[in-house]
Amino acid sequence: MPHGDDQHRQDEIEREPGYQGPPHLADLQWGPGKVVNTSRGERKLAKARPTAEFERIWDQTFRELGEFGFQNGYEGVLFWERPDLDHTALAELIDSLPDLIAKKEAEAARVEQEHLERQEREAAAERERHREFIEEARETARISLRDKRWSWAKAALIDEANKLIDDPALDYAGAKRLKALAGQASKNVVRSEQRIAVAHEPELARAANPVVVAAAKDAIASITWFDQDWASLQNDIGWSKATTCDGHVLDGLTVWTVEQASHALRLLRIHHGQVPDRLPLTLASGRQATLSLSPAA
């Protein structure tokens, strides 16, 4: 507690002329003011408990009020009055607060409405993207199953795909799964195409003979025609699980390269028991011979 000269100087500071005190605003009950020295110079500090009305005003106009020395924090509402404060300008600001707040609230409502509308547009766009993706997945799987069912490898995968295709409530996750299944089947085809593009050396000599190749094409077509179960059954009819992709890919080619023909002959050695008896192979010399039906070594 100040004593003697210190108390006298404090009394002089508190009675320092030039300060008008805080304005009337939002039913704030101000305590007694006190002149203090701050890093920005001398100020007269007044404090008040915030009211609900002030909190509403402060939320919208804290920058404007802050320019006139208001603060609102854990100590309550503070008013740091400068000696040269323009009280007329402060009074004009306080008078304009209802209109200022109304404009800011209207602007905030407009921004919020735009935000909601943008969110709805984005959600609608995403729904449309999902719808298109779902339909694309369905169509991709349908075409794959229609044209290259043999590339799906397992009957269980085909059953799963058909259930997804027929599901009227197919969602985005289900469509991703469906597209992945069709994608895996497509990769199986690519792997076969890559495999038969590399020569099978033991059959290269015969693969260069066009008469042998023509007979091999007929044999490949015959086995493919009988492969109605796409190698899903072990019945010695059609292709096996290991050869069905290569066999169907070869059957779908109009013209074979020598490398592809060598793989056709490789497959026919594996499935020699299904080569039709009507397919004798004419040798380059013109002599008649039959395709060797002995199993591949």
Coil, strand or helix: which one is 70? Answer: strand
User: Which H/E stretch holds residue 178?
Assistant: helix 172-196
Q: Is the pLDDT assigned to residue 292 strictly greater than 80? A: no
What confidence tens digit (pLDDT) does each residue in 237-271 have? Answer: 788 888 999 999 999 999 999 999 999 999 998 88
**Cα–Cα dist 213/234, whole Å:** 28
Report pTM.
0.64
Please tell me what DSSP assigns to residue 152. Answer: G
What is the pLDDT at residue 183?
A: 97
Angle between the N-to-C axes of helices 172-196 and 244-251, in degrees from 0 to 180, rounded to the nearest 10: 80
What confidence tens digit (pLDDT) does each residue in 130-158 have? Answer: 999 999 999 999 999 999 999 998 889 99
